[in-house]
Homo-oligomer: A and B are copies of this chain.
Amino acid sequence: MIARGRWLFGAVLTGACVVGPSAVPVAAQGAPADPAALREGVRAWRAAHQAEIVRELAGLVAIPNVATDSANIRRNAQALLAMLARRGVTARLLENPGAPPVVYGELASPGARRTIVIYAHYDGQPVDRSTWTGAPWTPVLRDGPRPLGRDLPLPAAGGTVGAEARLYGRSASDDKAPIVAVLAALDALRALHVPLSVNLKLFFEGEEEQGSPHVRALLERYADTLRADAWIFADGPAHQTGRPQVVFGVRGVQGLELTVYGAARTLHSGHYGNWAPNPAARLVELLGTMRDGEGFILIEGFYGDVFAPTPAEAAAIAAMPPVDSALRTELGLARTEASGAPLMGRIMLPALNIRGLESGRVGSAAANAIPTEARASIDFRLVPDQVPARLRALVEDHIRRQGWLIVREDPDAATRRAHDRIVKVVWDEGYPGVRTALDLPLSRAVVRTVEQALGEPPVVVPSSGGSLPMYHFGEVLRVPLVIVPIVNYDNNQHASNENLRIGNLWSGIDIFAGLLARLGTEWPAAVP
């Protein structure tokens, strides 16, 4: 089945700014004739500058970066401005009222006919300090992944760091490593006297982990500033095999907080148990109607906008290296959901994840009482064509069909007395997923350039399972986008003990140096 609207960027590009083989020849753009020579040059440069690169990243990771922590988010932005200024990038903050600023930079390349924007975010997921080994924003270098390995000092000037070393800290991977990799790639190309094949714009967002509630307004305000031929998103992990990957889409995301109510005060479970409604039991009942044990979503109409992969997507999926068996072993899983269906197939579908449950207390803190409330936190992952507003309506219709009254604030006494099943439903700012067609000239050029930079082909992935606010970019800027992630897949992003495998920083530098030096050549623009 063919989806309407999901090939947005493909459709836009075909008739707009993409040209075919009649483009200007490669030599006219000043890139080195030999990709292999460039690759060796970049590797030699970064091998000689390991200490300063790792130290720059550690310095950035040391600044707390939850988007709601305004003071520290501003400290991150100022640090990034200084890092850009040191590279001669024209940089400033793009402000949006009440939100963390975007750190924006420009670096023009004489003769380049393509302009690309590299996107990353500098904010990080909230932390649960009790589950971290050490402090989230005290970067620690280790000679291997926890719990193995031991602490290493940060390298002194001229020192080296092994590829298997790991830097621990919130956003070491997600997304501060890609930011540092892009800037190191600029340093490498400058040192090698290799000109950029594209005009470069940098866009570092500060509230992605909050769902980017303000990014659309910002894109609209700065649409002229942000004009480009393509956006490269430097977010997300490399493939589970350790191989680099190029990703052509993301799932959307929609957060949901549910609060279910019992009696107005906590009750003794003996004196009132099995008479007064138990909100935890009621929440269990409600959640049980939304998702089955195999991950299938039971909400009526939920799969109405879900379409099968295109032939190009199906071919790419078939060519991906198998990972499921190794992942099951690593993660201690005897079996996965949907009767063990492959991970990539599951990612092409939407998901309902229960990210939190809370009611009363468990373990030694448990009291023999009936809680007054029970809460569940859910994140939905959406595939293209699933519009969040429609999803929200489907979920609320479903909840009401189970006999619940939906409220937006804690109910007052009169509401409690009048309604048996009351649930507070609070949605966050969700956004839909997007996918870029695999057979666009841009898509093919990015894959080719990454292969040249690394000397091996990347894994081509039709969609990441994760989410980025790319939908806004497509709608507002009408620009194609491709994701070029660099960090290790086992980085614990979004969890405690987030970490970066240093070898991924090195290959990330190689990738961005290759893209900057060669994408304009591999994806030539028409002569004006």
Contact = CB atoms under 8 A, between A and B. Distances in A.
Nearest to A272: B465
A329 interface: yes
Contact of A353 (B237, B353, B370): B370
22 contacts: A125-B369, A128-B361, A237-B271, A257-B363, A265-B495, A267-B495, A269-B351, A271-B464, A273-B346, A273-B353, A275-B346, A278-B353, A280-B356, A285-B293, A288-B288, A332-B416, A334-B417, A334-B420, A353-B370, A355-B361, A362-B376, A363-B375
A336 B377 CA distance: 26
Given A362-B375, A369-B355, A381 B237 contact: no
B360 A359 contact: no
Nearest to A280: B354
Closest 3 CB pairs of A and B: A270-B466, A332-B416, A274-B351
B265 A334 contact: no
Contacts of A494: 266, 268-269, 367-369
B271 A495 contact: no
A357 B358 contact: yes
Given A265-B495, A273-B379, A284-B287, 17 more contacts: A125-B367, A266-B496, A268-B465, A268-B493, A270-B464, A271-B464, A273-B346, A273-B465, A274-B351, A281-B287, A283-B357, A332-B416, A357-B357, A357-B360, A357-B362, A358-B361, A368-B379
Interface in A284-336: 284-285, 287-288, 291-293, 295, 328-336
Interface in A368-389: 368-371, 374-377, 379, 381
A151 interface: no
Interface string A392-426: 00000000000000000000010011111000000
A371 to B, nearest CB: 7
Nearest to A289: B288
Number of chain A interface residues as a range: 35 or more
A460 to B, nearest CB: 17
B332 A417 contact: yes
Contact of A275 (B261, B336, B359, B495): B336
Interface of A: 68, 125-126, 128, 236-237, 250-251, 253, 255, 257, 261, 263-278, 280-285, 287-288, 291-293, 295, 328-338, 341, 343, 346-347, 349-371, 374-377, 379, 381, 413, 416-420, 464-467, 489, 492-496
A263 B128 CA distance: 18
B255 A492 contact: no
A492 B281 CA distance: 21
B358 A358 contact: yes
Contacts of A264: 330-332
A411 to B, nearest CB: 8
Given A255-B366, A368-B379, A270 B361 contact: no
Nearest to A358: B362
A494 B253 CA distance: 40
A354 B413 contact: no
Contacts of A285: 288, 292-293
A401 B365 CA distance: 30
A266 B370 contact: no
Contacts of A375: 362-363
B273 A351 contact: yes
Contacts of A357: 280, 283-284, 357-360, 362, 374
Contact of A267 (B280, B331, B366): B331
A68 B264 CA distance: 30
A270 B374 contact: no
Contacts of A283: 357
A45 B486 CA distance: 82
